[in-house]
Amino acid sequence: MKYKRDESFRFSLIKPIEGTFSIKISNTQKETETKLGKLLIDNISPSGLKFSCPLNIPEDNPDVVLHIKFPLGDIQVETYGTIVWKKKDHSGYLYGFESTPNPEVENQIITELKKIVKKSHNK
């Protein structure tokens, strides 16, 4: 398993966030996109996340790109990226997902996470 220890922060969620994903498979012939699947996000950073789902998704394959959507605070996050690690667990698989760099999405995630932390400290 690979871990990004140099990230600025990773926010562990008390309650997992439900999201959806589709898989885009590209090769020299054509591009194919799957139907939507469901996932549960366990933790998040501006450049990636850890999620679980029952589907066995290939890792470290540049032809396999995930399109993930999930609610975070007041916004809907939409990101693309790849699986960088995978681990079998009791209900399916855990995945490490690295987003394709997108400063706008990264800033949105940081802003929403700050709001969430601030709300939790004001309770």
Q: Specify the residue for token string 């667990």.
A: 89
pTM > 0.75: yes or no: yes
For residue 8, what pLDDT is reported?
Answer: 64
So where are the chain's domains? 11-121
CA dihedral 27, 33, 38, 42 (to 10 degrees): 40
Which H or E run includes 100? none
> How many alpha carbons lie under 13 Å from residue 60 in its C-beta half-sphere?
4
Distance from C-alpha of 37 to C-alpha of 64, rounded to nearest angstrom? 15
Say if strands 92-99 and 31-33 run parallel, antiparallel, or are unpaired: unpaired
Q: Which fold has domain 11-121?
A: Thrombin, subunit H (2.40.10)
Paired tokens of 122? 């004001």
pLDDT at 2: 45
pLDDT by position in tens, the chain (length 123):
344 545 567 899 989 999 999 999 887 677 888 899 999 999 999 999 999 999 999 888 888 999 999 999 999 999 999 999 999 999 899 999 999 999 999 999 999 999 988 888 886
